[in-house]
Structure 1
Amino acid sequence: MPNRSETCSPCHSQIAQLSSPQQQQQLPSHCVKRVFNSNTIKKPYISDSKKPSNPCEAHLIAATAEIEALKQALLGKHNQIVAMEAACMQETERQVELEDSVIAWQDKYDRLYESHKRVQKVNQSLEDKLLKLVDRNTGEKAQLTSDVATLSVRLAQANFNIAKLQREIVS
């Protein structure tokens, strides 16, 4: 790395005073040469190799460096967009799976609800039949109870008459 106290022309102040990369980027573009890697942008450094012979060449070098930086930034943003699209596609697939699951559960619920309604109708019909049987059996029980009472009275009278006749025969 070159000495930071160098200047590229008499019009520029000492570079040694600049401590942060942001401050170094504020230098005129022909004072700084950017070096690029295939994936990352390295921090700018002061060129100690060949100094441009004229301002046009310096501006051309600076413009080329800026174009490369913009290309790298564009590539980075493109990669971010591709990653976001992939994540979106995965979420879309997950949403489709969930929608299919919801439809399947809704079908199961509908079938279960229809089955429940049918069972409820059958239960109501059975309950009505049972109530009719209970009413009929209650009526038959009352009739039988009445018949038993009548027959009991007649049996008691018959026993009384038999006992009376036996006393008459013996006496």
Structure 2
Amino acid sequence: MGILLGLPIVILLTIFQSVVVSNIPLLHGTADLVLLVLAALALQERISTIYEWAVMAGILMGLVSAVPWFIPVFGYVGTVALARFLKRQVWQTPVLAMLLTTLSGSVVMLGMQMLALQAQEVPISIVESIDLVILPAVFLNVLLALPVYALTIDLTRSVYPEEVEV
């Protein structure tokens, strides 16, 4: 059931990311709403199919972006793996785990995208891409991390209610 629920959510997130969020830049960087939602959902123990959601989201974002399709797949799966690791092993405070996952996932994802575009011989200055794209995008992602986390907690509780032992 988790994959069937995840497919329309991932499709709607990809559409919203492509149409709305990408048109609200800070300098030239935009927030990655798909990354934020995947990181927030990965911190919820009730969702067991989060890796499948990350692969679906990565493939869809790879199809609508200028980077090769495998860059978003690796970035989203790595972000989900980091969030799961932080939730289970390191911290019991999910808000700090969300912020660290968002920060590191954004930097890694945007860095891989920059390297992929340079490998495709797109004329991009490294300093300008860091100053005008990566830092503003990371700032927007960290700024939106807590509201997205709060919304996903509420949605997760309504879709996956806690089991009550009698």
Q: Which has the larger radius of gyration?
A: 1
- TM-score surpassing 0.5? no
| Superposition TM-score tier, normalisation by shorter sequence | under 0.3
TM-score (normalised: structure 1)? 0.27
TM normalised by structure 2 equals: 0.27
